[in-house]
Amino acid sequence: MQRIMADMNIQRPFTPDNPHPFAPYVAILGRGKTKSRPLTFDEARDAMAMILRGEALPEQIGAFLMLLRLKEEEPEEIAGFVAGARAAMDRPALPAVDIDWSSYAGKRVQLPWFILSILALVGTGLRVVVHGSEEHTPGRVYTNRVLAHYGLPIADSFDTAARQVETHGLTYLPLHVMSPMLRDLIELKPVLGLRSPVNSFTRLLNPFDAPTVMQGIFHRGFLDIHSGAAQILGIPNMAVFRGDGGEIEMRPNKPCPVWTTHGAADPVIETWPATLDDGHAPADEVMDIARLEHVWADADHDAYAVKSVVGTMAVALRTMGKADTPQAAWKMAEGIWAARDRSRLPLT
At 273-308, the pLDDT tens digits run 999 987 666 788 899 999 999 999 999 999 999 999
Residues 281 and 107: their CA atoms lie apart, in Å, by 13
The distance between the two most distant Cα atoms of the chain, rounded to a whole number of Å, is 71
SS (H, E, C) the chain: CHHHHHHCCCCCCCECCECCCCHHHHHHHHCCCCCCCCCCHHHHHHHHHHHHCCCCCHHHHHHHHHHHHHHCCCHHHHHHHHHHHHHHCCCCCCCCCCEEEEECCCECCCCCCHHHHHHHHHHCCCCEEEEECCCCCCCCECHHHHHHHCCCCECCCHHHHHHHHHHHCEEEEEHHHHCHHHHHHHCCHHHHCCCCHHHHHHHHCCCCCCCEEEEEECCHHHHHHHHHHHHHHCCCEEEEEECHHHCCCCCCCCCEEEEEECCCCCCEEEEECCCCCCCCCCCCCCCCCHHHHHHHCCCCCCHHHHHHHHHHHHHHHHHHCCCCCHHHHHHHHHHHHHCCCCCCCCCC
pLDDT at residue 204 tops 90 = yes
Would the pTM count as exceeding 0.85? Answer: yes
> Which domains, ranges and CATH numbers included, belong to the chain?
2-88 (1.20.970.10), 99-338 (3.40.1030.10)
pLDDT level of residue 9 (50, 70, 90 thresholds) = low
Residues 241 and 311: their CA atoms lie apart, in Å, by 12
pLDDT at residue 34 tops 60 = yes
Summarize the confidence of residues 137-161 as an average pLDDT: 94
pLDDT at residue 49 tops 50 = yes
- Quick one: pLDDT at residue 279? 62
Summarize the confidence of residues 318-342 as an average pLDDT: 98
| Cis omega (within 30 of 0) for bond into 174 | no
pLDDT at residue 1 tops 60 = no
pLDDT level of residue 194 (50, 70, 90 thresholds) = confident
Is the sign of the CA dihedral 155, 158, 163, 164 positive or negative? positive
Mean pLDDT taken over the chain: 93
